[in-house]
Amino acid sequence: MSPTSPPGTAPASPDTGATPAVDAGAADPVARPNLVARLAASVADPVLRILVGATLISRIGRGIFLTVTVLYFTLIVGLTPGEVAIVLAAASGAGVVASFAGGWLTDRFSAKRLIILFTSIEGVALIAYVFAGDFVTALVIAVVCGLFEQGANSTRSAIIARAFTGESRVHARAVLRTVTNVSIAVGSGLGALALALGTAEAYRGLIIGAGVLYLLGLFQLVRLPARVDAPARAAVAEVVTATGSVDAAATAEAIASERRDWRSHSPWRDPRYLWLTALSAIFGMQFGVGELGVPLWITRETEAPEVLIAALLILNTIIVVVFQVPMSRGTHDLRVAGRVSAIAAWLMAGACLVYAAAAGLPVGFAIAVLVIAAIAHAFAEVLSQAGGWGLSFELADPVRAGTYQGVFGMGYSVGALAAPLVVNATAITHGLVGWASLAAVFLASGLGTWWIARRAAAATTA
């Protein structure tokens, strides 16, 4: 996609110098396209349309499942809170391994076939939850779901890395994230039906529906073109002697040389990319702040009503849906990606301190302060994601794009796994001092990402 014109737009007609006649009722030929036209143009690429269609369907199922998971485990399956925590932690831990494995596999096998396989297994595993009647069964199913969900996510990132270039890659990620948020919101509303009815049949019916939606997304994924797959590695030709016989030793050395060259493109030998992954994983703990830290802080330390938790979640979703795509433009440029990462760092650090300031305030002031913090937090999330996507694509070695995206995704999975522990050990346990510590962590990681981007940009222009 061109940075200056959205995909799907027709090229401008040459200027002939004549002034065309315009009917009184005709639309202004230079008028800004309406919302529907802009949305259609944003998904003009056929691969992106397929991914959007699959995401739109399957993420509704994800929203349903996220809404009913914990209560289904406790009320229907009969697990204790401790057992639920173990089940969810095990699923997250499995996802760490699968994040890397999914990307690694896409450098060796068809990404299209892999994402179809992973999504199929995940959908079936979600449906299998209705048969969970004890801790062990729920644990096994959760691990399977965690494995194939994160494997599919890394495969999707590898597909984007190979099917798009430059700004269009970040645009694709931003569009898919926007669609994901909208779909999960819709799914959460449907999941509320089970919560309202409160019966085992309602819970199981919606869980089956969530799994079926994942499987329905396959009708989109099977349409992916072959260009989403990694190019096949060229076979090493046999070395032939002057007499026409095969030189076994020389052929073996040529094969070994090709393997050494392949391994030299590994992200594990790229310190800059590993630092980027680590810093992005640390900053990614901001999701844990929103999911765990803020709700607990509001209920335990502030006078704000608990309903504000849902209101802030809705506010965050609206900001992400409205601003993720426009604020991601240009972040394929290393300098822009670094700049937005630095802005995100300051916004997130400020949000932590403002969250902390809500403690002990009267109700009205507490609500106002928390809303301000949530807005800063939401924009920090949007900008950090945009900068991280741009850098994760542009700093990756295209020879092993899948493995690079797998490593980057694994970093985020590690951050998500660590976030509850870190947030609880800082903000929730130590109050203002803990929030200040979190602010310092986010500021350091965001500015570290900016520094990497700045150095990389300088190296490309040297």
124-147 b/e with 16+ CB inside 10 Å = b? Answer: ebbbbbbebeebeebbebbbbbbb
- In this predicted structure, what is the pLDDT of residue 451? 97
CA atoms within 13 A on the CB side of 429: 9
Beta-bridge mates of residue 246 = 240
158-182 b/e with 16+ CB inside 10 Å = b? Answer: bbbbbbbeebbbbbbbbbbbbbbbb
CA distances from 60 to 73, 154, 186, 245, 332 (A): 20, 20, 6, 62, 29
- In this predicted structure, what is the pLDDT of residue 42? 67
- Locate 425 and state its tokens: 């050990």
pLDDT in tens, 243-269: 666 656 665 665 666 566 656 678 888
CA distances from 440 to 110, 345, 352, 454 (A): 42, 9, 9, 21
For residue 10, the tally of other CB atoms under 10 A from its CB is 6
- In this predicted structure, what is the pLDDT of residue 271? 94
Q: How far is Cα 136 from Cα 458, in angstroms, rounded to an integer?
A: 53
CA distances from 100 to 149, 407, 423 (A): 12, 5, 25
- In this predicted structure, what is the pLDDT of residue 249? 63
In angstroms, how far is the first alpha carbon of the chain from the final one?
Answer: 27
| Ordered per-residue pLDDT tens for the chain, 462 residues | 434 333 333 333 334 334 344 444 444 444 555 545 655 666 778 889 999 999 999 999 888 888 888 788 888 888 887 888 888 888 888 988 899 999 899 988 899 999 999 999 999 999 999 999 899 999 999 999 999 999 999 999 999 988 888 888 899 999 999 999 899 888 888 888 777 887 888 889 989 999 999 999 999 999 999 888 877 655 555 656 666 666 566 656 656 665 666 566 788 889 999 999 999 999 999 998 988 899 889 988 899 998 898 889 889 989 999 999 999 999 999 999 999 999 999 999 999 999 999 999 999 999 999 999 999 999 999 999 999 999 999 999 888 888 899 999 999 889 988 988 899 899 989 999 999 999 999 999 999 999 999 999 998 876
